[in-house]
Structure 1
Amino acid sequence: MRQVNFFVIFVICLALVLFGIENTEPAVIHLVKGVDLQAPLSIELILAMGLGAVLAWVFSVWTRLQRLLETGQEVRVRDERIQALEEDVERYKAEIEQQRLLPAAKSVASETQTTDAELVTQ
């Protein structure tokens, strides 16, 4: 992929150089009323493209930053939910363990009662 990117950038730069060689006539840019700028057409267009590239990069960084912040919030919410679910699992395990112990205690008590009843009858 890097080779493709390098090739694309190389072709664009080559096209800009060839464009600059062919367009050396001065052109006037009217920025605001009373403010004019005169420079070769190729320089003006290359500066305009450079400004566009910088603005595209700034927008890309801004979008990436927003996505990173959103992802961070989602991760925090997900971590909190995982923590709550883990606490629920531990609580359920404790309840199941208590329920296992209760019937065992009842069966020991009933065995003791039947043993006592057998002793009484003898």
Structure 2
Amino acid sequence: MRQLNFIVIFAVALILVLFALENTDPVSIQIVPGKSVSAPLAVELIIAMGIGAVIAWFFSVWSNMQKVIEMQPANEKIQNMEQELTEMSMIISDQKQLGAAIDVEVEEKEKLT
């Protein structure tokens, strides 16, 4: 898996380098009215891709946090059900022991009569 990751990262880096070498013409971008920045097209596009990647990462983290928050009530319910199951299994085992003791008493009474 590490080799696959390396190959993908290397390919993306190689594509970005080739793209940057082919697009060196300066381009002007107006960020806010009255303010413009002039830089090579490749640099501006790579920066835009980086900003897009950061925004995508932010929303990924945000959605994961929402899933965790939504799962908390379900986890509490599961813990409560596990506790109830443990209590019920203890009650059943006590009833089985009590039933076995009653069966022994009945058998002893039948032997006496």
Question: Does TM, normalized by the shorter one, top 0.5?
Answer: yes
Equivalent residue, structure 1, for 2:79: 79
Larger radius of gyration: 1
Q: Deviations over 1:45-97 (max 9, x none)?
A: 01011111222222333333444445555444323222211110110111122
TM-score, L = length of structure 2: 0.78
The aligned residue for residue 36 of structure 2 is 36
Aligned AA (2:81): R
User: Could you list the runs of 5+ residues in structure 1 that have no partner in the other structure?
Assistant: 115-122
Distance 1:79 1:69 in 2: 16
Overall identity of the aligned pairs, in %:
39
Counterpart secondary structure, 2:30: strand
The range that moved more, 73-82 or 18-27, is: 73-82
Report the counterpart of residue 97 of structure 1 in structure 2: 97
- State the match for 2:7 in structure 1: 7
Against the structure 1 CA distance between its residues 42 and 102, is the aligned structure 2 distance closer, same or farther, given a 3 Å change threshold?
A: same
Q: Name which of structure 1's ranges 84-93 and 50-59 shifts more when overlaid on structure 2.
A: 50-59
What residue identity is the alignment partner of 2:2? R
Name the SS of the counterpart of 1:24 in structure 2: coil
Number of aligned residue pairs: 113
Structure 2: stretches of 5+ with no match in the other structure = none
Which residue is 2:25 aligned to? 25
Aligned partner of 2:51: which letter?
L
Paired with 2:5 and 2:55, the residues of 1 have a C-alpha distance of 20
RMSD value over aligned CA atoms?
A: 2.3
- Specify the alignment match of 1:46 in structure 2: 46
Of stretches 31-40 and 86-95 in structure 1, the one that deviates more from structure 2 is: 31-40
